[in-house]
Amino acid sequence: MFGMFSPSKCAGNVEGVKYIQMASCGQDSTIKIWLISFADPTGFDMKYKCTLSGHAAPVLACAFSYDGQTLVSGSVDKTVRIFETRTWSILHTLTQHTRYVTTCAFAPDMPLFATGSMDKCVNIWQLEPNQHFTGSALREEPKISVDNWSEEEVSVWLSRHGLQDLVEIFKRHNIDGKELLSLTKESLVGDLKIESLGLRGKVLRKIEELRIESACLGIPDEFLCPITRELMKEPVIAADGYSYEKEAMENWIIKERRTSPMTNLPLQTLILTPNRSLKMAINRWLETQPKYNEKQSP
C-alpha cells in the first residue's frame, strides 16, 4: 500500500477541528481518502472519508498537487487518473504510458507533475485552465514509435545517451528512426566511418535496446516480467500477487531483496508458485505470432 498527505497549507476544518487529508492506494484498485486531525495532544485521530474508483488494476502511486486541489494516481492498468479534490470526480484519464505507471509527483509550487512507468519513460504534464472541465485539463505530447523518428529525433536520442560526437555523422547520412534500427557493425564501419570501437559498441548496444523495446510494444503487458520487461517463459506468482519470470525473481531474492519489485513492501513468504494459466495464455498468444517466433529463433 502507498500513502500520500495533502499539503499542510491546504488544511481544512471539520466541526472546528483542523485536519489534513491523506490518500492511500493498493491492491484493491481503489484510492481511499482519510481525514487526519491533531486535536488530541497525545496523538492524532484518523477518519475514513471516501473511496475513489476508476482504475481497473492495482494502484501503485498517488500524489496531491501543490495547492491540494488535484490528486493524481498511477496504476497497473497503464493509466494516470486526475481527481478534483472538492468533489473527488475524475477530471481526466491519461493513456500515454504503455506499461505499469509506478510513480507520480507534483512540482512543489507550480502546476506541473511527472509520471514514471515501466515503459522506461517519464512524462511531464502541465495543468492548464479549460472550461470543458470542472478543474484542469492536460497538455499531452504524442508518443512516437522509433520507426517514425525523424533525423532530429535521432539526434536527440544520440545526445541523451552521451553520443553527441556522432550527431553530425548521422545527420550527414540522413539517419532517421527506421534506418537507425537497421544499422549493423558493418554499416557503422563501412558507411558511417566510425573508427572508435568503443563508440561502435555503445551505439550497437543502445540500438539493440531500442529493438527489444520495439518488439515488446505488441506484447500484452501481463505477459512481460516486471523485472526484465521480457516475455515470460516460466511465470511464477510471488507473495505480492504479481507474476514474474522464475529465474528473474529467484535472482531478485538471492540478492537479499526480500521486498516486492512492484510495491517495495516486504514479501510475507519467499515461496514462488508456478502460474500455469498465465503460461498457457502466453503459449496460445505465441501460436498466433509467427513473426515474433521468427525473431526469437536462434
pLDDT at 290: 61
pLDDT at 214: 65
Q: Are residues 119 and 180 in the same domain?
A: no
Give the Cα separation of 115 and 59 in Å (integer).
Answer: 13
Q: Are residues 65 and 33 in the same domain?
A: yes
Share of the chain above pLDDT 70, in %: 80
What average pLDDT is seen over the chain?
81
Q: Show which of 111, 139, 167 is a domain's final residue.
A: 139
Q: Are residues 282 and 228 in the same domain?
A: yes
Is the model's pLDDT at 139 over the cut of 50?
no
Q: Are residues 81 and 205 in the same domain?
A: no
**CATH number of domain containing 26:** 2.130.10.10
Give the Cα separation of 275 and 233 in Å (integer).
Answer: 10
pLDDT top residue among 86 and 43: 86
Give the Cα separation of 65 and 113 in Å (integer).
Answer: 8
Q: Are residues 230 and 196 in the same domain?
A: no
Is the model's pLDDT at 12 over the cut of 60?
no
Q: Are residues 120 and 239 in the same domain?
A: no
Please, are residues 72 and 63 in contact by the beta-carbon 8 Å criterion? yes
Give the Cα separation of 138 and 115 in Å (integer).
Answer: 13
Is the model's pLDDT at 173 over the cut of 50?
yes
pLDDT confidence of 157, banded at 50, 70, 90?
confident
- Specify the pTM: 0.55
Each residue's pLDDT tens digit, 103-124: 899 988 778 889 998 877 888 8
pLDDT confidence of 238, banded at 50, 70, 90?
very high
Residue range(s) defining the domain that contains residue 257: 221-296
Q: Are residues 127 and 243 in the same domain?
A: no
- The neighbour count for residue 52, using CB atoms within 10 Å, is 20
Q: Are residues 133 and 9 in the same domain?
A: yes
Q: Are residues 16 and 134 in the same domain?
A: yes
Q: Are residues 9 and 114 in the same domain?
A: yes
Residue 124, beta-bridge partner list:
114
**CATH number of domain containing 202:** 1.10.150.50
Is the model's pLDDT at 286 over the cut of 70?
yes
Q: Show which of 139, 160, 186 is a domain's final residue.
A: 139
pLDDT confidence of 291, banded at 50, 70, 90?
low
Q: Show which of 216, 237, 252 is a domain's final residue.
A: 216
Number of domains the chain is built from: 3
Q: What is the dihedral of CA 224, 230, 235, 239, to 10 degrees?
A: -70
Is the model's pLDDT at 4 over the cut of 70?
no
Please, are residues 11 and 17 in contact by the beta-carbon 8 Å criterion? no
**HEC sequence for 103-158:** EEEECCCCCEEEEEECCCCEEEEEEEECCCCCCEEEECCCCCCHHHCCHHHHHHHH
pLDDT at 293: 56
* CA contacts within 13 A on the Cβ side of 6: 23
Each residue's pLDDT tens digit, 240-262: 888 999 999 999 988 867 888 88
When pLDDT is averaged across residues 36-61 and rounded to a whole number, the result is 81
Q: Are residues 20 and 133 in the same domain?
A: yes
Give the Cα separation of 197 and 204 in Å (integer).
Answer: 11
Give the Cα separation of 197 and 155 in Å (integer).
Answer: 20
Buried b (16+ CB within 10 A) or exposed e, 62-80: bbbbbbbbbbbbbbbbbbb
Each residue's pLDDT tens digit, 177-227: 889 988 999 999 889 988 888 888 999 988 888 776 666 556 777 888 888
Q: Are residues 227 and 211 in the same domain?
A: no
Q: Is 41 helix (H, G, I), strand (E, B) or coil?
A: coil
pLDDT at 247: 94
